[in-house]
Amino acid sequence: MEKGYLPELLQSLTPAERLALRKYLCSPYHNTRADVLALFDHLSQKNAAPVDRSASFGAVFREKPFDARQMNYTVSYLSKLVEGFLAQREWEADTETQDLYLFRQLRKRRLGRLSERAAHTAEKRRDKQARRDAAYFRQGYALAFEQLRAHLQQGRARDIDFDSLTEAHEKAFVYEKLKLGCMLQSRQAVGSRAYGEGLLPVVLEFLQEHPWLREPALAAWYHGYFVQLDPQATQNFEQLKDLIFRHGRLLPDDERHDLFLLAINFCIRRINSGDAVFSKDLFDLYQEGLVQHIFLENGVMSRWSYNNIVNTALKMGEVEWSLQFLEDYRQRLEPAFRDTSYFFNLARCQYEKGDLSAALASLTRIEYDDILQNLSAKTLQLKIYYAPAAGQPLDSLLDSVAVYLRRKKILGYHRENFSNILRFLQRLIALPPGNSAALALLRQELEQCKVLSEKAWFLQKLSRSGSRRTKSGL
Q: Which amino acid is at 51?
A: V
Long-range pairs of 252-256 with CB within 8 A, sequence gap ≥ 24: 252/131, 252/133, 252/135, 253/293, 253/294, 255/133, 255/179, 255/217, 255/221, 256/292, 256/294
**pLDDT higher than 90, residue 20:** yes
Contacts (Cβ under 8 Å, ≥6 apart) of 182: 221, 224, 225, 228, 258, 262
State the pLDDT at residue 467. 42
State the pLDDT at residue 14. 92
Lowest mean pLDDT among 190-194, 380-384, 445-449: 190-194
**pLDDT higher than 60, residue 471:** no
What DSSP line would sit under 262-330, residue for residue?
A: HHHHHHHHHHHTT-TTHHHHHHHHHHHHHHTTTTEETTEE-HHHHHHHHHHHHHTT-HHHHHHHHHHHG
State the pLDDT at residue 389. 55
State the pLDDT at residue 473. 38
Residue among 235, 277, 285 nearest 260 (CA): 285
Residue among 361, 367, 336 nearest 349 (CA): 361
Work out the average pLDDT over 216-243.
95
State the pLDDT at residue 271. 86
**In angstroms, rounded to a whole number, what is the distance separating the alpha carbons of residues 460 and 464?**
6
Q: How far is CA 22 from the centre of its chain?
A: 33
Four-point Cα dihedral 76, 79, 81, 87, nearest 10: -140
> What pLDDT, in 10s, does the model give residues 23-52?
999 999 999 999 999 999 999 887 656 678
* Predicted TM-score (pTM) of this structure: 0.76
> What pLDDT, in 10s, does the model give residues 46-101?
765 667 888 899 999 988 999 999 999 999 999 999 999 999 999 999 888 899 99
Alpha-carbon separation of residue 83 from 10, 12, 244, 278, 298 (angstroms): 10, 12, 37, 48, 23
**In angstroms, rounded to a whole number, what is the distance separating the alpha carbons of residues 65 and 61?**
8
> What pLDDT, in 10s, does the model give residues 171-201?
999 999 999 998 888 777 666 667 778 899 9
State the pLDDT at residue 307. 94
State the pLDDT at residue 356. 92
> What pLDDT, in 10s, does the model give residues 255-279?
999 999 999 999 998 887 778 899 9
3 state DSSP class of 82: helix
